[in-house]
Amino acid sequence: MWSFVVHAFFLLVALGLHGRVCAQMGSDLSARDGKENTSAPITLTVSKEGGNKSSPHLYGIMFEEMDRSGDGGIHGQLLRNNGFQGSHPGLTAYAPVGDVDIFQDDVSPVSHAITSSLQVQVMPDETKFVGFSNFGYNGIPVINATYRCEFWMMGAYAGPITLQLVGSASGKVYANHNITVHSVFGDFTHHETSFNSSASPDGDNEWRLLFDGSKVAGASLNFGLIQLFPPTFHSRKNGLRKDIATAVDEMQPSFLRFAGGNNIEGLQIDSRWAWNRTIGPVHERPGRQSDWHYPNTDALGLDEYLWWCEDMGMEPVLAVWSGKSYGGILSGPDLEPFLDDIRNELEYILGPSNSTYGSQRAKNGREEPWRLNYIEIGNEDDFTGGCDTYPDRFTQIYKTIHSEYPNITLIASTIDTNCLPESPPEGVWYDFHYYRKPDDLVAMFNWWDNQPRSQPVMVGEYGSRNTSNPDGVYWSFMQMSCSEAAHMIGLERNSDVVRMAAYAPLLQHFGFTQWSPTLIGFDSSPDSLTLSTSYYVQQMFSRNRGETILPVNTTADFGPLYWVACNINDTYIVKLANYGEKNQTVHVEIADTKSGKLEMLSGPRDGINLPHNATIKPTIDNVTVSHGIYTIQMGSWSVAVLVVS
């Protein structure tokens, strides 16, 4: 769609110079490059002197379990309701196979944490193979790969078990795998196996477990904590779904803020995200009813988040519970017991492997301490009744952590001075979240210009979101993504003080949407992974970072074109966003540079990447010039990154 064109003649006229190369980029130029739709050219001259430092961690990600982003999302386990967790799980996602009755059996727990199992009752005259199915999260992704499967089983049975992946409507069998088990009366035994599958053309698939019904006729068997994994990212056991994790990794984020978001807070105090309920073997994790009103298995737990950080080279930004839940707030002496909880959590993460909690970590597969340099105290404590007590709660938790871990950067969950201590300790960072309509996000371009440089900021969540649309915004379109790019240029210009920023939310499983848009969407069907136009903006900005933000002399004011320039050693990077209907010629002058690449994302204002129809992607072209002047044609609603040396 886009072409790189050398316009020697144009340049001779426009610049009065010989041999400069023009990178012509723009959307639908034939229809839109008429004079009435073209703004006067702008020249940007990048200075190599002066400027301000840029945070090495500016671009990162924020993750919380919502929109089935974790269970049914980036966590690799594909079967739903496998531990009957959360409120009223019932038989969600299960169905009988053959002439059997199935029940949620809450008097036959698999473990102290997994308090129910599935009972399969067999008819007295049964002669066939029977069992049950689980259809995952609106189906199961069935690909040409080796799957790993685990389950627990109770009841007297010695004989074959058949595991299958089957098309629910088609009945087509993609995998059929037999094992022999020796299950006993009154006790659960654990079984694990692997099998190959061929690929299904759609997501309408289920997993089945079958056994010889003649051996159980008139009796029952119980099954618990069934698990099914395709190959995982970095081949980790209990790891991440590879396609989704790879897309996240390809943004090259430098931090992960977890585990929320609202989802750490708890609908009630007791249902807050509690770190110690998310560690160890998954059969020891009880799960919880989340803040987003569905069960979390917590199979994606504290260690899994930290492995995720390590595998993608990200700084963990761990949120600790600050005493605020939707069902009540604890402060003062009532918060004291929870301070021990934080101490224990930090010993688990950072303590030597012979300490009480460090040894638990070692037992759970991680001998050496994790990396942890950033902790956020709560989430949005200026909201939902938290403001009055946050100054005290913040101070209690700050002191608890800082006294033992003075090198950890602590982040307040608000920037509102009314909700903060009168004189917050030096070194504290402040988190501020905003979701805005596109024009309003662009209007915040200068927002951080006057932020006191002694008060660093993490923008823990931001994004363009048309909240005035009664139907909600289904998915990002080019105007939204360009508004984010313009705003991010403002963030980057201020990245001496804006130290971290994350678009939110990150992921959604289409069909389970609670909050949209997100950067990445998917479902259980093949090639469902959908990278929004906003994903590409994040990727372009994150993958091209400098160390110093450089001054730029210019012939125009900001808007509708926005820009920022930076460098790392001899490499110079210029980011541009055209938040407008008119095409824009931009001459970028960077002395003593001659070649590099130009990455461009562009499309119509309403251009959108829909599932199975994602057509708007960045293009990359090589650029070479002889006098350090690059002419870039920015089409309407376009974002570009020029990297040259």
Minimum distance between the CB of residue 262 and ligand AHR, rounded to whole angstroms? Answer: 4
Query: How far apart (Å, rounded) are the C-alpha atoms in residues 413 and 419?
Result: 10
The residue among 379 and 631 lying less far from ligand AHR, judged by its C-beta, is 379
Could you tell me the smallest distance in angstroms from the CB atom of residue 260 to ligand AHR? 6
Instruction: Name every residue whose Cβ is closer than 8 Å to that of residue 161 and which is 6 or more positions away in sequence.
Output: 153, 178, 179, 180, 181, 191, 209, 210, 211
Give CA–CA dist 165/199, Å, rounded. 10
Evaluate the omega torsion of the peptide bond into residue 358 and state whether it is cis, within 30 degrees of 0.
no
The smaller minimum CB distance to ligand AHR, of residues 133 and 508, is found at 508
- Distance of closest approach, residue 536 Cβ to ligand AHR, in angstroms: 20
- 248 vs 565, which CB is nearer to ligand AHR? 248
Alpha-carbon distance of 450 to 609, in angstroms, equals 36
The answer to whether 262 contacts ligand AHR (rule: CB under 6 A) is yes
273: left (phi over 0), alpha (psi -120 to 50) or beta: beta
In the complex, least distance from residue 17 CB atom to ligand AHR, rounded to whole angstroms? 49
Considering the complex, state which of residue 488 and residue 549 has its C-beta at the smaller distance from ligand AHR: 488
Nearest to ligand AHR of 264, 497 (CB atom): 264
Q: Terminus-to-terminus CA distance in the chain, angstroms?
A: 27
Interaction mask 584-613, ligand AHR, x per CB under 6 A: ------------------------------
Binds ligand AHR by CB under 6 A, chosen from 27, 54, 322, 379? 379
Supply the minimum distance, in Å, between the C-beta of residue 543 and ligand AHR.
Answer: 24
Other C-beta atoms closer than 10 Å to the C-beta of 115 total 18
Residue 109 buriedness (CB in 10 A; 0-12 / 13-18 / 19+): middle
| Residues 499-558 close enough to bind ligand AHR by CB under 6 A | 504-505, 515
Closest separation between CB of residue 66 and ligand AHR, Å?
A: 6
In the complex, the smallest distance separating the C-beta of residue 65 from ligand AHR, rounded to whole angstroms, is: 10
CA separation for the pair 250, 228 (Å, rounded) = 25
State the minimum distance, in angstroms, from the CB of residue 150 to ligand AHR: 31
Q: Phi first, then psi: what are they for 512, rounded to 5°?
A: -120, 25
Nearer residue to ligand AHR within complex by CB, 142 or 412: 412
Backbone φ and ψ for 74, nearest 5 degrees, come out as -70, -25
User: What are the E-state strand segments in 168-306?
Assistant: 173-183, 189-197, 205-212, 220-229, 255-258, 288-289, 295-296
| Site stretch for ligand AHR (CB under 6 A), options 21-29, 32-40, 257-265, 298-306 | 257-265
> By Cβ distance, which residue is nearest to ligand AHR?
261
Tell me the window of 44-52, 164-172, 255-263, 575-583 that interacts with ligand AHR (CB under 6 A).
255-263
Q: Which of 243, 380, 431, 484 binds ligand AHR (CB under 6 A)?
A: 380
For ligand AHR, the closer CB: 71 or 599: 71
Among 285, 433, 493, 499, binds ligand AHR (CB under 6 A): 433
Beta bridge partners of 129: 212
Residues 42-101 contacting ligand AHR, CB under 6 A? 64
Strands of 145-154's sheet, edge to edge?
100-105, 117-122, 220-229, 145-154, 189-197
* Count of residues of this chain found to bind ligand AHR when the rule CB under 6 A is applied: 11
Specify the residue, 70 or 260, whose C-beta has the smaller distance to ligand AHR.
Answer: 260
Strands annotated E in 124-254: 129-134, 145-154, 157-167, 173-183, 189-197, 205-212, 220-229
The residue among 354 and 468 lying less far from ligand AHR, judged by its C-beta, is 468
Distance CA 211, CA 162 (A): 6
Q: Which stretch binds ligand AHR (CB under 6 A): 20-28, 100-108, 131-139, 256-264?
A: 256-264
Question: Considering only CA atoms, which of 522, 636, 624 is closest in space to residue 579?
Answer: 636
As measured in angstroms, the least distance from the Cβ of 424 to ligand AHR is: 21
CB nearer to ligand AHR: give 195 or 515: 515
The DSSP code sequence of 618-634 is: -EEEEEE-SSSEEEEEE
Q: Closest separation between CB of residue 538 and ligand AHR, Å?
A: 15
382: its two tokens? 């200026």
Q: Give least dist CB 416 to ligand AHR, A.
A: 14
Q: Whose Cβ is closer to ligand AHR: residue 46's or residue 319's? A: 319
Strand partners, 565: 550, 574
Q: In whole angstroms, what is the distance from residue 181 CA to residue 388 CA?
A: 59
Question: Toward ligand AHR, which CB reaches closer, 79 or 329?
Answer: 329
The maximal CA–CA distance of the chain, rounded, in angstroms, is: 94
Q: Which is nearer to ligand AHR, 66 or 309 (CB)?
A: 66
Question: Closest approach of Cβ 85 to ligand AHR, in Å?
Answer: 20
From residue 606, alpha-carbon distances to 313, 389, 479, 480, 535 in Å are 35, 44, 7, 9, 16
- Tell me the per-residue interface mask from 447 to 466 with ligand AHR, x by CB under 6 A, - otherwise: --------------x-----
Cα gap 481→499, rounded to integer Å: 21
Q: Are 510 and 601 in contact (CB under 8 A)?
A: no
Q: Under DSSP, is residue 598 helix (H, G, I), strand (E, B) or coil?
A: strand
Residues in region 334-373 near ligand AHR by CB under 6 A: none
- Of 378 and 604, the one with the shorter C-beta distance to ligand AHR is 378
Q: What are phi and psi of 401, to 5 degrees?
A: -80, -45
Residues 110-139 that bind ligand AHR (CB under 6 A): none
| Shortest Cβ 458–ligand AHR spacing (Å) | 13
Rounded Cα distance, 299 and 277, in Å: 10
Instruction: Map residues 471-510 to x or -, x wherever contact with ligand AHR holds by CB under 6 A.
Output: ---------------------------------xx-----
In this chain, which stretch among 128-136, 178-186, 259-267, 299-307 interacts with ligand AHR, using CB under 6 A? 259-267
Query: What is the distance, to the nearest Å, from the Cα of residue 483 to the centroid of all Cα atoms in its chain?
Result: 20
Stretch of 117-125, 254-262, 524-532, 597-605 contacting ligand AHR, by CB under 6 A: 254-262
Closest to ligand AHR by CB, 413 or 495: 413
CB of 436 to ligand AHR, least distance (A): 13
What is the spatial distance between Cα 210 and Cα 196, in angstroms, rounded to a whole number?
Answer: 17
**Identity of the residue, 405 or 515, whose beta carbon is nearer to ligand AHR in the bound complex:** 515
User: CB–CB of 349/361 below 8 Å?
Assistant: yes
What six digits make up the tokens of 443? 């209007």
User: How many angstroms from the chain centroid is the CA of residue 297?
Assistant: 17
Which residues contact ligand AHR by CB under 6 A? 64, 260-262, 379-380, 433, 461, 504-505, 515
